[in-house]
Amino acid sequence: MKGKGSSTHVEIDLEKQLPPWRETLHGLINIPHVNVSVPKGSLCNLNVEVNVGLPPDAVYNIVTDPDNKRVFKNIKEVISRKVLLDEGSRQVVEVEQAALWKFLWWSGTISVHVIVDQNRKDHSMKFKQLKTGFMKKFEGHWRVEPIFVDEKVCFPFKPKTLADYYSCAEGKGRIGSRVTLDQLIQPAIVPPPPISWYLRGITTKTTEMLINDLLAEAARIRGGFEGKKSNQEVKDFQEIPMEQQIDQIRDIKERWALRRRKQRKLVRD
């Protein structure tokens, strides 16, 4: 993709991509996968993978937007943001945010102070806790990779690069994104079961809400019927306090099964 780091080309690419995405999500199997492991001494290591119906640049813009608290509801406010290094396509930023949390009958905000290394060339973003305190480790990595949704039109040729795909699909092929989030959470003191199980569940649910917020914003950008529906769902959801949102989320497998059913219905419609 020419000028991948240029905002002008991003706008042109996105404008060309939106009409076919508005027509259908067919061909993009949007089944999020959530894997939870428990490395020794940590609360959990979360790995989430989801397909999004927008090009990588557009998805990356959502994730790295300095004002992304309007998208991700678990961010109450951005306390401070300082750019430490700016090389054009790569930035290193020091960010402090107030994140919403809930444990049993307590709720409030917690300060999250991280160094973020974001690189638009490969659509990656690494984050790491700046100071230890309650959390001994809080770090992770976002990756956004292109999906050639309509690559069958190139048969028998199989495109390996965006340039190949643009050429064989004559610039009309949809480009989706495979988004991966790896996140390690290690408190200074790991509580014993069942408290650790409860905290792990809350952490997993909060991460799922993060992915749901990303998908809702992608739907809003695409517009059309799905976008309008998503906007209303987001508005309704935002009116519910964060504590109630967490409580209302059900079993992980049941939640994703429900999302799959809704996704298949949208594709059929």
Q: What is the CATH number of the domain that holds 28?
A: 3.30.530.20
pLDDT tens for residues 162-181?
888 888 888 788 999 999 99
Mean pLDDT lowest for which of 105-109, 133-137, 142-146, 153-157?
105-109
Domain count for the chain, please give it: 1
> Does residue 46 register a pLDDT over 80?
yes
Instruction: Confirm whether 170 is domain-assigned.
Output: no
Higher pLDDT pick, 89 / 5: 89
Instruction: Confirm whether 57 is domain-assigned.
Output: yes
How confident is residue 261, by pLDDT bands cut at 50, 70 and 90? low
How confident is residue 64, by pLDDT bands cut at 50, 70 and 90? very high
Instruction: Confirm whether 80 is domain-assigned.
Output: yes
> Does residue 266 register a pLDDT over 70?
no
How confident is residue 68, by pLDDT bands cut at 50, 70 and 90? confident
Question: Strands, DSSP E only, in the chain?
Answer: 33-37, 44-52, 75-86, 90-103, 106-119, 124-129, 135-148, 175-187
Decide the pairing of beta strands 44-52 and 75-86. Answer: unpaired
Higher pLDDT pick, 253 / 96: 96
Instruction: Confirm whether 160 is domain-assigned.
Output: no
List of residues 6+ apart from 251 with CB closer than 8 A = none
Instruction: Confirm whether 79 is domain-assigned.
Output: yes
Write down the pLDDT at residue 149.
Answer: 92
Cβ count within 10 A of residue 47: 17
Cβ count within 10 A of residue 23: 11
Which residues are bridge partners to 35 per DSSP? 47
Kindly report the average pLDDT of the chain as a whole number. 80
**Alpha carbons 106 and 50: distance in angstroms, whole number:** 31
Write down the pLDDT at residue 89.
Answer: 92
Mean pLDDT confidence for 207-225: 86
Domain around 119: 7-145+175-268
Instruction: Confirm whether 164 is domain-assigned.
Output: no
Amino acid at 256: W
pTM as predicted: 0.77
Write down the pLDDT at residue 182.
Answer: 97
Higher pLDDT pick, 14 / 239: 14
> Does residue 33 register a pLDDT over 50?
yes
Instruction: Confirm whether 168 is domain-assigned.
Output: no
- The rounded Cα 178 to chain-centroid distance in angstroms is 10
> Does residue 97 register a pLDDT over 80?
yes
Higher pLDDT pick, 150 / 255: 150
* 170 Rama class: left (phi>0) / alpha (psi -120 to 50) / beta: left
Which of these, 48, 9, 17, 269, lies nearest to 147 by C-alpha position? Answer: 17
Percent of residues, the chain, with pLDDT higher than 90: 43
Instruction: Confirm whether 22 is domain-assigned.
Output: yes
198: Cα within 13 Å, side-chain hemisphere: 10
How confident is residue 54, by pLDDT bands cut at 50, 70 and 90? very high
> Does residue 258 register a pLDDT over 50?
yes
> Does residue 1 register a pLDDT over 50?
no
Mean pLDDT confidence for 62-76: 91
Percent of residues, the chain, with pLDDT higher than 70: 75
